[in-house]
Amino acid sequence: MTTEEIYRRAVELYDETGPSAVYDFADTLGLPYSDCEPCDADTPTLDEQTCLVCGSEKKTTKIW
């Protein structure tokens, strides 16, 4: 799957089922988790910097 496909699928899952489905999806793909400010939680990270749940760019200071 490309990054774009993953993101689109995640948005679908979020709309259909909610955040928990996005987390399950990310676990299936083995995506890393990191802190997301808008979500105020550890969320799956796409492409090393994009929150898979809210789509915002993460600040990378905490993990890199």
Binding site for Zn ion (CB under 5 A): 36, 38-39, 43, 51, 53-54
CA dihedral sign, ordered 11, 7, 13, 18? negative
- What is the closest distance, in whole angstroms, from the C-beta atom of residue 51 to Zn ion in the complex? 3
- Please answer whether residues 44 and 52 qualify as being in contact, where contact means their C-beta atoms are separated by less than 8 angstroms: yes
How many Å from the N-terminal Cα to the C-terminal Cα in the chain? 25
- What is the closest distance, in whole angstroms, from the C-beta atom of residue 46 to Zn ion in the complex? 10
- What is the closest distance, in whole angstroms, from the C-beta atom of residue 56 to Zn ion in the complex? 5
Task: Report the residue number, 16 or 43, with the smaller CB distance to Zn ion.
Answer: 43
